[in-house]
Amino acid sequence: MAHQNSAEPLADLTQLGQSNLTGDTRALYLKLFSGEMFKGFQQNTIARDLIMKRTLRNGKSLQFIYTGRTTAEYHTPGNSILGNSDGAPPVAEKTITCDDLLISSAFVYELDEVLAHYDLRSEISRKIGYALAEKYDRLIFRAIANGARKASPVSATSFVEPGGTQVRVGTTANFSDAYDDAALVTAFYDAAAAMDEKGVSQEGRVAVLTPRQYYALLQGINSNILVNRDVQGDALQSGKGIMSIAGIEIFKSTNIPFFSNYGTKFGSTGGTTDTGVASPGNLGSFIDTGMEDADAAATGINNEYGLGSEFSKSCGLIFQREAAGAVEAIGPQVQVTSGDASIIYQGDVIVGRLAMGADYLNPAACVELFAGAASGDAAF
């Protein structure tokens, strides 16, 4: 009996995956949904719980009152005690205004939801919430950096209160000093000493660094001093091993000002032009794009958060809870249309909204880390 050569294809093989017997042999096979959606990169928002937050009702701004120090003097027998002759303590104020309503929205067509085999609405709602929370963090961190460059609102003659602090990381003109673990440790102790000297409470002191700075500390030669010995191993490798330096708890975020970017600054050549850190590539549209201008002239802004160019040397923040305040007329929330509106448009609009404002409060509680120059960015 004749046998067909095994090397020859079977001309009459039925391809069940083809459309009309032509093209891709798997075209008609079902695409199975894995039950998961690849989510956009979500950064944890942290600033809201690290500062003083107040709810704003029936007004456009909130007033914070400062009282300066007073003096002690010896009593002269027979003299009436009617208060110090200098009228101390001096009093000053700081007002934080609510910015315009910040929104993020999307329209979800009902037919698309019927045909889709995954939950799109909840995912869109989460992404809208992330967008608002990210903006919240960025404004607060910009306000703290501003406070680090300011004098105290209490500035009466002979009763001037301490102002903000800028601490240099490293001693060279290279931006790469921002990633030097030994230089960062030194900067932390300088910042802690400065806050001690300015009478800032040790309670609630925190630092916020970029992820690469955080991991540089973990890998550094001083890490055995910085890391709590009870949380080494898995905790250390996960990037959660550093507890504190000089009593300052450390957080990481890509929302802090970092050489006029948010949390990232790439460039492999090093020196005075970039950080010497090569880009990981494929960054997308939301990373390493530069800080937007958010001065009082910008649309919707009623506080002063500065121009993007005014953070060209900034590379980290250290602060205490009194450093900044945020006022909220409308906290971060998501709204969804319903009823007649849904019938008319055959779908729903998902709206995230936020009405808040932020500014520095106690400049003495604000420390800005800078690198690449002998002095930090100027006040704005």
The domains of the chain are located at 121-324+358-370
User: What number is the average pLDDT over the span 8-29?
Assistant: 76
DSSP per-residue codes, 40-71: PP-PPP-GGGTSEEEE--SSSEEEEEEE----
More confident residue, 16 or 368: 368
Phi, psi dihedral angles at 124 (to 5 degrees):
-60, -40
* Per-residue pLDDT tens digits for 343-379: 999 999 999 999 999 999 999 999 999 999 999 999 9
Q: Is the pLDDT of residue 117 over 90?
A: no
Of residues 337 and 193, more confidence is placed in: 193
Q: Is this structure's pTM higher than 0.85? A: yes
Segment 336-346 mean pLDDT:
88
Position 211 confidence tier, pLDDT thresholds 50, 70, 90: very high
How many CB atoms neighbour CB 275 within 10 A?
Answer: 27
> Does residue 234 carry a pLDDT above 80?
no
List the structure tokens of 181. Answer: 């673990």
Q: Which of 12-26, 123-137, 208-222, 251-265 has the highest mean pLDDT?
A: 251-265
| Mean pLDDT (whole number) for 213-227 | 73
Which of these, 154, 163, 145, lies nearest to 378 by C-alpha position?
A: 145
Evaluate if residue 38 carries a pLDDT over 70.
Answer: no
